[in-house]
Amino acid sequence: MLDMPTIEAKSTVNPARACPLCSSTLDETNPSECPMCDWHVGYEKPSDEPGNPRDLAAVLMSVVPGLGHIYKGHPLSGALYMLGAAFALVAAVVASTATAGFGVLLLPLYWAGVMLQVYWLEDRALVKAQG
């Protein structure tokens, strides 16, 4: 048997780069921007840190539970928190009859929980407005 020398084929094609945001393949003709999302060279991802003015506005809107969620682009969870507020009100009234009025203190706990949750919630409405 003859040992045949192997010839390794060297590829001249550069490996495809992937978009850092959506992981899609970048176009070879224009690798500085993604055809599938908003990424381009020099793009800075918006900060997800809570504490911007929209978060504070959502907390203030949550005096009516659910409005802050709707404001931040979560209409289904906002509607569920509104419905939950009705149930929390009924539960607080029932608990207050059995506890000499102390059951009413459950209602501010519900409101505080909703306000804290909307403060740290992702702002979908802002993302849609930017994209």
Distance CA 89, CA 17 (A): 55
Q: State the pTM of this model.
A: 0.60
Query: Is pLDDT of 15 > 70?
Result: no
Grouping H, G, I as helix, E, B as strand and the rest as coil, residue 127 is: helix
Distance CA 128, CA 107 (A): 33
Q: What is the pLDDT of residues 73-84, one digit of tens each?
A: 999 999 999 999
